[in-house]
């Protein structure tokens, strides 16, 4: 069977192949591309090619399947475009690394991200993307594709941690006591890289992409204020994703799972009150120290004895303070801790369980115990259909392998976005022994393998394109 190739399609392919020599050819069929490129000079000829051919033009790599012999006049059996993916060109990833280092040198804590927000605005202006301030130091940018489609949200957090950097990186923090030790500098830089690629290709982009640069993820939380100020409306976001660097996964990979992928992170404060006295006469006092010690141990029973072993719960006491000196019986001890849980029912009961243990164990020591809860972020629940459709889309349209990392008990206020639209928390592999990218987040030694940034950018762009085109979609958790 013979049929004519659409003329513009042929021109497009020829143009793609012609451009190829100056572009990267990461991924499959590089040798095929090279051969194709050699042969395209003047009138394109595809007569020797059958099977999938990946052709890269500007930022877009298209896979064509040439089903039958095509002759030099463009007669063929069929030429099918099967996929269209983004290849991050060197200029974009190098720029992302520069921006990441600029942000890294000048870390800012939650709702203080004036300088970081200004960098984001400067870069969006340079690209030509409309943007607005939101939630004090947040920025929302909008990339409007030329073709009709759905609305994707991409979220990057921007804040740093109150920690002094000891990574030894040449671009280490210039602010003592503040450090980008969770990778939010890289998240922001990658979203800017993705923004450039989406904007440059907006003539072929279906739908709209909303770029959400969020303050204060590490606390007190910037996601809710952004949502309350309308970040997810106008245009209304149909599906939303975020990346988080993860030293468990190798550079060059990403990963996600359906359902709960991290934990609700709730804070609690415990106060034990006794009665002070002389260290030599305990019988005349009520010692708050042993009561507190017993409470610390007993609280672990919530995880160890009171909840289903398959329903994950973590109880951590992070601080304990009390007393005056060696020979004074402490009248008061104050402790702070965190509960982590994934199941909402278990989460709801943590306060009651904690209070029962604190009050009654303290009472057994003749002291008075109180527990106060400070509710934190809920668990991020990845939309199952969104995870499934995006995995399929990535397998078809990207060379980045998608893994299925186990959940963590970390907290993440992206949960609020994911409660309002189908959401996906994507783990972004940055592990590299060579780059020293092996330390966990929140460590003063934390480093990121910057080679990973291009894969993150590619993943963000793929999500936006897939959602825009209606091929990546969610709603199963609604
Ligand atoms: Zn963090
Ligand atoms: Zn983080």
* Extents of the domains making up the chain: 3-86, 90-262+402-468, 264-377
CATH class of the domain whose range is 90-262+402-468: alpha beta
pLDDT of residue 477: 57
Residue 345 has a CB neighbour count (10 Å cut-off) of 8
Q: Choose, from 113, 365, 377, 393, the residue flagged as catalytic.
A: 377
For the chain, what is the mean pLDDT? 85
Query: Which residues are near ligand 2, the ion (C-beta closer than 5 Å)?
Result: 182
Using the mean position of ligand 2's atoms as its centre, give its distance from the Cα of residue 87 in Å: 26
Using the mean position of ligand 1's atoms as its centre, give its distance from the Cα of residue 137 in Å: 18
Using the mean position of ligand 1's atoms as its centre, give its distance from the Cα of residue 16 in Å: 42
Question: Nearest ligand, CA of residue 428?
Answer: 2
pLDDT of residue 397: 84
Q: Is the pLDDT of residue 50 over 90?
A: no
Catalytic site residue 393?
no
Q: Could you tell me if 151 and 208 are in contact, meaning their C-beta atoms sit under 8 angstroms apart?
A: yes
Using the mean position of ligand 1's atoms as its centre, give its distance from the Cα of residue 442 in Å: 6
CATH architecture of 264-377: 2-Layer Sandwich (3.30)
pLDDT of residue 399: 79
Q: pLDDT digits over 185-239, tens only? A: 999 999 999 999 999 989 989 999 999 999 999 999 999 999 999 999 999 999 9
Question: Nearest ligand, CA of residue 380?
Answer: 2
Question: Nearest ligand, CA of residue 242?
Answer: 2
> What is the pLDDT confidence band of residue 66, given thresholds at 50, 70 and 90?
very low
Task: Give the Cα separation of 349 and 107 in Å (integer).
Answer: 37
> What is the pLDDT confidence band of residue 143, given thresholds at 50, 70 and 90?
very high
211: which 2 tokens? Answer: 């770029």
Distances (CA, A) of 31 to 28, 36, 322: 8, 8, 69
Q: Is the pLDDT of residue 393 over 70?
A: yes
Phi-psi region of 216 (alpha: psi -120 to 50; beta: other; left: phi over 0): left
Query: Which residues are near ligand 1, the ion (C-beta closer than 5 Å)?
Result: 182
pLDDT of residue 412: 96
Q: pLDDT digits over 232-258, tens only? A: 999 999 999 999 999 999 999 999 999
Using the mean position of ligand 1's atoms as its centre, give its distance from the Cα of residue 181 in Å: 7
Q: Could you tell me if 467 and 240 are in contact, meaning their C-beta atoms sit under 8 angstroms apart?
A: no
pLDDT of residue 402: 97
Using the mean position of ligand 1's atoms as its centre, give its distance from the Cα of residue 252 in Å: 21
Q: Is the pLDDT of residue 40 over 80?
A: no
> What is the pLDDT confidence band of residue 87, given thresholds at 50, 70 and 90?
low
Catalytic site residue 416?
no
Using the mean position of ligand 1's atoms as its centre, give its distance from the Cα of residue 156 in Å: 12
Question: Nearest ligand, CA of residue 185?
Answer: 2
pLDDT of residue 77: 36
Q: Choose, from 218, 450, 454, 458, the residue flagged as catalytic.
A: 450
Percent of the chain with pLDDT over 90: 77
- Quick check: do 90-262+402-468 and 264-377 share a fold? no
| H/E element, 468 | helix 453-468
What stretches of 275-367 adopt beta strand conformation (E)?
277-278, 313-322, 328-329, 332-341
Rg (CA), the chain: 27
Q: Could you tell me if 159 and 217 are in contact, meaning their C-beta atoms sit under 8 angstroms apart?
A: yes
Using the mean position of ligand 2's atoms as its centre, give its distance from the Cα of residue 474 in Å: 24
Q: pLDDT digits over 294-332, tens only? A: 999 999 999 999 999 998 899 999 999 999 999 999 999
Average pLDDT of 349-378? 97
């Amino acid at each position: 069977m013979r049929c004519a190739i659409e003329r513009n399609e042929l021109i497009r392919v020829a143009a793609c192949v012609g451009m190829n020599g100056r572009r990267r050819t990461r991924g499959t069929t590089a040798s095929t591309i090279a051969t194709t490129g050699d042969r395209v000079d003047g009138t394109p000829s595809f007569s020797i090619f059958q099977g999938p051919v990946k052709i890269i033009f500007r930022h877009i790599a298209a896979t064509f399947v040439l089903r039958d012999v095509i002759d030099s006049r463009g007669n063929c059996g069929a030429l099918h475009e099967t996929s269209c993916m983004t290849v991050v060109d060197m200029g974009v990833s190098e720029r992302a690394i520069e921006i990441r280092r600029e942000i890294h040198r000048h870390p800012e804590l939650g709702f203080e991200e004036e300088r970081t927000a200004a960098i984001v605005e400067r870069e969006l202006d340079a690209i030509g993307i409309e943007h607005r301030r939101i939630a004090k130091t947040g920025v929302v940018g909008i990339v409007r594709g030329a073709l009709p489609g759905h609305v994707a949200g991409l979220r990057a957090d921007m804040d740093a941690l109150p920690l002094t950097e000891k990574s030894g990186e040449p671009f280490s923090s210039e602010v003592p006591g503040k450090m980008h030790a969770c990778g939010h500098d890289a998240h922001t830089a990658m979203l800017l890289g993705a923004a450039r690629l989406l904007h440059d290709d907006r003539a072929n982009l279906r739908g709209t992409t909303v770029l959400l640069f969020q303050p204060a993820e590490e606390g007190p939380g910037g996601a809710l204020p952004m949502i309350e100020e309308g970040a997810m409306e106008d245009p209304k976001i149909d599906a939303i994703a975020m990346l988080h660097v993860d030293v468990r996964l190798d550079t060059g990979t990403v990963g996600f799972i359906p359902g709960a992928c991290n934990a609700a992170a709730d804070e609690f404060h415990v106060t034990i009150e006794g009665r002070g006295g002389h260290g030599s006469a305990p019988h005349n006092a009520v010692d708050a120290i042993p009561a507190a010690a017993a409470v610390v141990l007993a609280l672990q029973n919530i995880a160890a004895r009171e909840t289903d072993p398959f329903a994950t719960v973590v109880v951590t006491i992070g601080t304990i303070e009390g007393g005056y000196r060696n020979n004074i019986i402490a009248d008061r001890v104050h402790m702070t801790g965190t509960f982590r849980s994934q199941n909402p029912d278990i989460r709801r009961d943590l306060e009651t369980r904690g209070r029962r243990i604190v009050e009654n164990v303290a009472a057994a020591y003749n002291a008075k115990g109180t527990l106060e809860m400070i509710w934190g972020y809920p668990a991020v629940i990845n939309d199952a259909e969104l995870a499934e459709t995006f995995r399929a889309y990535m397998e078809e349209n990207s060379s980045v392998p998608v893994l299925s990392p186990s959940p963590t008990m970390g907290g993440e206020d992206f949960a609020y976005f994911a409660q309002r639209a189908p959401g996906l928390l994507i783990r972004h592999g940055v592990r590299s022994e060579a780059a020293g990218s092996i330390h966990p987040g929140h460590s003063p030694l934390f480093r990121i393998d910057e080679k990973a940034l291009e894969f993150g950018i590619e993943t963000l762009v793929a999500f936006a394109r897939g959602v825009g085109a209606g091929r990546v979609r969610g709603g199963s958790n609604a």
